[in-house]
Structure 1
Amino acid sequence: MCRWCVCIAAACILWFAAWHDAMAATNVVVFCIDNYPPYSYEVNGRAMGIYPAIFRRAFSRMDGYRVTLLPIPWKRGLHYLKNGQGFAIVPVYYKPELRPYIWPYSIPVLRQEEVLLCREHVLASRTRQHWPEGFYGLTIGKNAGYATGGKAFNEAVARGDVFLSEAKSNRINLLKLGLGRTDCYLNDRLSIAWELGQLMGEGLYDEGGAHASLGKPISIHWEWGHLGVTRMDHGRYYFKADFLEQLNGILSAMQATGEIREIVEGIMEGACPKGP
């Protein structure tokens, strides 16, 4: 057999093997929050940010799966998981009592610190800054659908001791805070810093001028971000146990080698945020 024939035959075999592997792979869609920078957001229809970067790399190392990361509004993603119409969402905090339709979760991926950012003069008038009792009577902003603040805060809201104002994004909430429509804003430290830096860089937040001066963020508590899977699929996602077993092993290895930390640092250095 001529050398060219051997080469062509070998190429055909390799192509067929690749085609067979591709055809055998299970297609999976994982939702990503579309408006939670720097953790997860959308740019021209593509999921971007810290979590998409981590999971895109992890998914590329899984056997038998072809995973698409789909940016989607947070509340819509939860709705789809609640109805079993979606497989998984990232990032999500471990809240099995609040969201019983999500189970199981991946291993913890990133530790996120929740903080309270208030207008400077609001803090000056507070003799106590213990959370949440020290902030009774104030209007606290937070992102719609986010499980932030803790049980005592939610109970205070239910009693009317604290007033809650929800908006769909960090940007809207920070502008509301700056214009005095809310007294404080509750969210992740890194997310607040990133968005405030973007607003200032674009000339849309004039601190001490058209917008309020802001105090030092107050640490409330921390949470771990996970990938969460629907439990409402009635066997539709028969592969979930194997999927999570593979994913957890890969994520553990990425944590052990410092790869996840490097991804976070690289993205934040590129963003160069300015803020609290």
Structure 2
Amino acid sequence: MSRTVYVNGEYLPEEEARVSVFDRGFLFADGVYEVTSVLDGKLVDFDGHAKRLERSLGELEMANPVTRDELLEIHRELVTRNAITEGMVYLQITRGAADRDFAFPVDATPTIVLFTQSMPLIEKPTAKTGIKIVSIPDLRWGRRDIKTVQLLYPSMGKMVAKKAGADDAWMVQDDFVTEGTSNNAWIVSGNRIVTRHLGTEILHGITRAAVLRMAREVQMTVEERPFSLAEAKAADEAFVTSASAFVMPVVEIDGQPVGQGTPGPLSRRLREIYIDEMRAAAI
């Protein structure tokens, strides 16, 4: 049975879903997106994703075609119709369809699309083994804080990693790690957890914000600052955070083991805390 997807106010079989060839998301990557995790059939940190969506839309002067409550209802309806117990809900809003012109159209109606993906999130094999990272130059545009659909360079980074026998890539600018291709980057040195501070250089991760809060609540020492690739390779532990990975240990960077080359105790503990709290708070 095919999935049910949501397109511009309609719930449709995925085979019947259509978007105009003149949609600016297709022609210009003129759109934003969010991905919300589903645990036990409930949405994880929905409000955080809804707020970041509003911020992304605002930065691009783009209208939101739905309210927060309408968006929540659509998410829940798709989870129900597709019987998603564990997985993701993907949301994309573009500026809409208009004749091809670099200038923003004044009368386009935004396009909104949502679909689900069923996948294991808690029992990921890599959560036990850790992932391997390679480093690549960060060649993206300067507004990485806006969650746009222009993801070609991160996709290229994933392929560089795959060809090198690794799982993902960390992007580096001026010798400092910015973030992963689809996640925020962290290291652990001694009793200090370090992740890059917020700015236009990185995405303001919803999972990142939750993990920072949880770490401080259990009296862990946290530093929000840039860290170099050399510092990461010399760290005791490393990990990434994202809506689909939660807290995922990193055990190797550019072929060099991180710490003991196995998932460290602090990253494992943070993953446990995150899953327990998010599961309890999901709506």
What TM-score comes out, normalization by structure 2 length?
Answer: 0.25
The structure whose RCO (Cα within 8 Å, separation 6+) is larger is 1
